[in-house]
Amino acid sequence: MNSESKSFISIFISGCLWGTIGLYVKLMESAGSSAQYTSFIRLLFGLFLLTLMTIIFEGPKALLIGKKTLISCILLGTVSSGLYNILYSMSINTNGMAVASVLLYTAPVFTAVSSLILFRENISGAKWLALLVNILGCSLTATGGDLGSTHIVLSGVLIGIGAGFGYGMSAVFGRIAMEEKSSPYAVAAYNMLFGTLFVVLTSHPWATVTDPFNTKILLYGFLYALIPTALAYVFYFKALSKIKQISKVPVIASVELIVATLIGTFVFGETIRAENITGVVLVLLSILLFSRQDKTPL
């Protein structure tokens, strides 16, 4: 198994960890947190944990990064962490969860097009087919094919596509950030830093909750920052430094949605329909297509 194949497994693990996000979000909200405060705590605690991990595993000097890495981290934090979260929340409020979910999973298209332009990656017909299968699979997994009776607003569609752009560009900005061979721990930490600053400057998250120092919120927030944030991003950025075909990354990471669906079903008792199962199969098929299309094993 070559290094790129091992990196795809790391991306798969990151996706599985991200799939647990909904669990921590629901736990924090049940304890009295708001969406804004939950995002803030995740980023702030993530910053603390990743900075500490950088110092422990690679030494304080690893926090000294190059100009190119710094600019990429600023883009990561503002576009793919801060702005993405805000746009996705706005998309949900405008068009509802189902439509917002479908629009979010346009992300692989943005990654593929950006990879074609920036890295001159060859996007074959087979890859475009795998992308379409992935988008369809994600849509069915998230919505069960039922978009409800929500009236779709054009501005909401544009906002939702913007969220997909922010999500999809994380692989691109992350790849650029790792080109100077920076520490993946440090890159993840700076991502959290600029994401935190963006959230603080665009909102006042501590003012959206009754008790910002609620013990349960902070405990769940710490676990949220540790498992599907710090650990997931370390796996993610370590892998990006060794992957040439960046367009594959969001497709393989879309296993996140499968894990989230399983948690919703077995932990929260949410109903799973035949359409959801079909979506799961299509997502897995798209991952298989992308990993085998060029005879590169996962």
Question: Can you give the pLDDT at residue 297?
Answer: 40
CA distance 234 to 218: 22
What's the burial of 9, exposed, middle or buried (CB within 10 Å: 0-12/13-18/19+)?
middle
Mean pLDDT, residues 106-122: 91
Question: Can you give the pLDDT at residue 3?
Answer: 83
Share of the chain above pLDDT 90, in %: 62
Mean pLDDT, residues 228-254: 92
Mean pLDDT, residues 86-110: 81
Is residue 284 situated within a structural domain?
Answer: yes
Is residue 297 situated within a structural domain?
Answer: no
Question: Can you give the pLDDT at residue 296?
Answer: 43
Is residue 109 situated within a structural domain?
Answer: yes
194-205: pLDDT as tens digits: 999 999 998 899
Is residue 71 situated within a structural domain?
Answer: yes
150-194: pLDDT as tens digits: 556 788 889 989 999 999 999 999 999 999 999 999 999 999 999
CA distance 73 to 65: 10
Angle separating helix axes 3-18 and 255-266, nearest 10 degrees: 30
Mean pLDDT, residues 85-95: 80
Is residue 202 situated within a structural domain?
Answer: yes
192, 80 contact by CB (below 8 A): no
Mean pLDDT, residues 124-152: 81
40, 205 contact by CB (below 8 A): yes
> Which residue did the predictor score with more confidence, 231 or 97?
231
Is residue 99 situated within a structural domain?
Answer: yes
CA distance 97 to 142: 9
- Identify the top-confidence range among 81-95, 113-127, 133-147, 206-220: 206-220
Question: Can you give the pLDDT at residue 206?
Answer: 94
Give the closest residue to 41 by CA, choosing from 258, 185, 229: 229
Kindly report which listed range (41-50, 208-217, 255-264) carries the lowest average pLDDT score.
255-264
Question: Can you give the pLDDT at residue 292?
Answer: 65
CA distance 219 to 44: 13
Question: Can you give the pLDDT at residue 58?
Answer: 95
Phi, psi of 273 (to 5 degrees): -105, 170
Domain count, the chain: 1
Please check the confidence at residue 293 and state whether its pLDDT lies above 80: no
Angle separating helix axes 35-58 and 21-30, nearest 10 degrees: 130
Q: Which two tokens stand for residue 226?
A: 């540790």
Give 298's pLDDT tier (boundaries 50, 70, 90): very low
Range of the domain at 27: 3-292
Is residue 298 situated within a structural domain?
Answer: no
Please check the confidence at residue 142 and state whether its pLDDT lies above 60: yes
Question: Can you give the pLDDT at residue 242?
Answer: 87
Is residue 185 situated within a structural domain?
Answer: yes
